[in-house]
Each structure stands twice: as C-alpha cells, then as structure tokens.
Amino acid sequence: MTVLTHSQIGAHHTDHNEDAYVTAEISDRHLLVAVMDGCSMGKDSHFASSLIAKVLRRIAKQTNLRSFAERTQHTTRDLLKDTLRTLFSDLVRLNADLDLDYDELLSTLVLAIVDTQERNAEILAIGDGVIACDEEIVEFNHDNKPDYLGYHLHEDFEDYWNVLTQRVSAQDFQDLALATDGVLSFRAFSHDSYRPVTDDELLTFLLVDREEGAEDTAYRRKVIYIKNTFGLEATDDLTVVRLSV
C-alpha cells in the first residue's frame, strides 16, 4: 500500500501552517491515519493540531508495542474507539497540566484506522474535513463553525462517542484519501483568463485521479498544475494523506 502525504500553508496565511497529519503503524496490520486543522480564531492555532498529531503518534506506538507484547488482535472499529478515548483522556490531562485556555485546543480531526490486509477502514470526522474512497467523496462542512473536540473535554467520553455521527466505513478500497477543508479553498489569484473548472472536478483531480510520475512530488505537481491551468490556489492550509493499492 502506497502512502502519499502533502501539507502546505494557504495563500491567506502568513506565519504558520495550521494543519498537521499523522501516519503511523498501530498494529502489525493496521495504520493510524489522521489530518488536523487548527482553528484560525483560536490562540496559537497551529499548536492544537501539532499537539494532537504528537499525541496520536505516541498512542499508535504504545498500542502497537502493547499488542505485540500481549499477542492481542483488535478490530478496526475497536482500535478507532480506543484511540479516540486515549486521545480524549490525554488532552484532558494536558489541558490541566499546561493550564491551557479553552481556545488553545481547538482543531478539527479526521481520524482513520486502516486494515492494510483486508483494505478496510473505519473513519471518524470531528469538525470539517473531506474523505474520498475510490470515486466517492464525502464533505463535512460546518460553514467555518466546526464542533471541535476541544469543546467536549469536560464530558463523559462514552456519551460523547455515542453522539458522533460523522463516520465512514470503507470496504475493500483501492484508494482512500483524508483531507482538511483546504481542498475546498481554491480561489482565483489574478484576473487573467484560465481554463474553467468546477469544484467537483477539482476535488476529483486532487483526491481521486492518480498522478503519473514520482510519488513524493505527486501533490506538489497537482497544485502547480491547478495554478498554471486554472489560475487557482489554495487560500487555506491544505493537507492530504492518501493510501493507494
């Protein structure tokens, strides 16, 4: 399974890329994949997404080591819930230890546990984000008012888990992509004439169409092509993690 990653600062941001991403082995057959987008209106918005990324990497490493030592097998759904539960409790502890304000832990999260042998995935979106599985694209858009995980750290986890509805199950997929809502932020940067393109065509090009050539520069080439051909550039930070068979 090939893993492609890309993250760039948006044209309307000047100091920090507020996005972050994670790809990490969480068992001998599962990957943890996630993309995060810090709230621009929050304090040090890049901090929240970066912190969540670091915590998720640690969770994946510890879960993997524990599974190996105990010779235990987990379902994809159980790993997703256990990962979010641990993230939830870790953020509660960090919030207290660091004496953070409520607006310092505001970040969206699209989190997936991928079974690399069966090519199945359980995916959860908290706040805004985009998920593409083969040729189907699902957008979660809250009109710049996402319901961040940080808003719910005072709640009971089981109660919170039971009301999460932005879930996607992928079965026997060939191509899976997670993206922050920066993929929806392409805008014209000049008044010159360029070839027209629809939003759906842009999403398909970014998240579904496969790019020939070197894999490590695939998304950089896509972004350059969009700019040169359609006269558009991402105004918001843009992050994509894509898995292909």
Instruction: Give the model's pLDDT for residue 42.
Output: 66
- Mean per-residue pLDDT of the chain: 93
pLDDT, one tens digit per residue, over 29-57 is: 999 999 999 987 767 778 999 999 999 99
Higher pLDDT, 145 or 117: 117
11: Cβ contacts below 8 Å, ≥ 6 apart: 187, 189, 233, 234, 235
Read off the pTM: 0.94
pLDDT, one tens digit per residue, over 180-236 is: 999 999 999 998 999 999 999 999 999 999 887 778 889 999 999 999 999 999 999
Instruction: Give the model's pLDDT for residue 212.
Output: 78
Query: Smallest Cα–Cα separation from 204: which of 225, 185, 220, 183?
Result: 183
As given in the structure block, the two tokens for residue 13 are 């941001």
Q: Is the pLDDT of residue 237 over 80?
A: yes
pLDDT, one tens digit per residue, over 128-144 is: 999 999 999 999 987 76
Query: pLDDT band at residue 146, thresholds of 50, 70 and 90?
Result: confident
Which amino acid type is present at position 87? L
Instruction: Give the model's pLDDT for residue 211.
Output: 81
Share of the chain above pLDDT 90, in %: 80
CATH of domain 2-244: 3.60.40.10
For residue 104, the cross-strand partners are: none
Share of the chain above pLDDT 70, in %: 99
The answer to whether the CB of 175 falls within 8 A of the CB of 208 is: yes
Q: Which residue has the tokens 């009971």?
A: 156
